[in-house]
A and B are shown apart, each in its own frame.
Chain A
Amino acid sequence: MTKCADSELLEGKFPEAVKAVSEFRGETTVVIDKEWLRPVMSCLKVGEATRYDLLVDIAGVDTGSESPRFFVVYLLHSIKFNNRLRLKVPVAEGAALDTVSDIWRAADWMEREVYDMFGIAFSSHPDLRRILLPDDFVGHPLRKEFPLKGEDFDKPFRVALEEEKGNQTDG
């Protein structure tokens, strides 16, 4: 199968970049070092043997543990070879990742969503703003420590609003 061949190719070309390769339910996942993200991605996109021209999705994952705190997961598809490949990049709390939005323009919105939901910054991204949540939103909701419900979730809206007003005049 070509799936394994692609991970072997990566291991041959970027021995320092590839940290782990795993197979699960017929899907290949390659964990790569974040310093090597851009060279690996460019190689996968333009390489004659790989041609991963369609960036299917970018997903953030909060592991809830110390190291690594986050994974950013890239899902690639090759229209020519009809292959899928998943790359995972471990990211520490507060660290930034290089953007791939100049390699695939699809990454523009996908990276903005990861930033919005997890607070992972992408350096040299052309327009890194929140995308789904309002600009003045506090916090990044898909982080594990973000509460599922607000403190006033079970109060009628008017009561919650008045309490907030009251707090403001006190302060």
Chain B
Amino acid sequence: MNKLHKLLVVILSSIALLISAASTAFAKVEGDTIILGAAVSLTGKYAGSGKHTQKGYDLGAKIINDKGGVKVGGKKYKIAIKYYDDESDGAKAAALAQRLIEQDGIQYLLGPYGSGITIAMAPVSEKYGVPMVEANGASRALFTKGYKYLFAVLNSADQYLNSAVDLMAAKKKNATVAMAFEQDSFSLDVKLGVMERIKAHKMKVVIDDALPKELNDMTSTLQKVKALKPDLLIVSGHDKGAMTGIKQITDLKVDVPMIAMTHCDSAAINKNLGGGGDYTLCAAQWHKSLSYKDKFFGSGMDYAKTFETEYQYDPPYQAAESSAALLVYKAAFEKANSFDKDKVRDAIAKTDMKTFYGPIKFSETGQNLAKPMVLFQVINGENKVVAPEKWAEAKLIYPTPKWADRK
């Protein structure tokens, strides 16, 4: 009889737990608060950028609430965000998306950090017809599946370093290229974009290395670079790749005329590496010196100042694009003048706005085609935009001075 007893206890307690979990369910709107849901990486290997994302979302919500909130049906509403930690794990993120939608009753999602995780979550929001405005998943694969409920404010990954390759082509014909990419969705997508430009300019790839995922050592790649002397070195491996790359380039005194990377500012290479980051070209979705502005955050510089006051560090673009996602939602709610998720979705699809982050206008596939990627160069510890020409605030320094010639 006691086995039955024990099992009954287990089953009953599980039901109890389920009920308790359900009773904390959030409806889409509670009182005067609209609740958005998000799974971000608060732990695990993407935790650094996941935190930038979360802070960007929080700041976006805060500023919107401070400036009068969202007006729907003549009434003012505040925005709140319910977070879960996906632990940098795609499978978990998908389960959390399910949980947000089914158990917590969330009707509007904000995207996670990272292409791989967004790719895992998108099928879920699509299946339930819940709009997701994401700000940190750049892989092209997200936009070719015919998703109707996914909207990305950022440029796709394949565009990140194309302008660096183009710049190289403009400086030297038939240049040689060395690359090191981490083996994840985002970095490989950057690689695809880069390879297309390399082929178009008839450049030659002399080194094509995969960055080891765990151990943070690029020595073998860099020694090969020293031996083969390519004209352009491209590194894409999230924050860790950027930091390891610069540190080891400094330690080994590797001379390459042009170095281009992703994730420079989330790794803060301009500040943390004692000048080693200088002359590196960095792909950025946004930079505070660009002259975009809007009436919530002001200009890019205003945003940076607000962010810094709130969180005591300079906002990388991951944070800026996350804040921009909130602006999209606010505009959509007001345009739809409703909380119905499909009406909101349609309103998002019609977004055409200018923000401090840049212009946002979604294509049929949910991509933001209105905003260009920028390239900045670290000059004397400062990030200065050098491409596209229209927005450049400094001239590209090429070639990178040799280590022997630097002070």
Chains A and B belong together in one complex: no
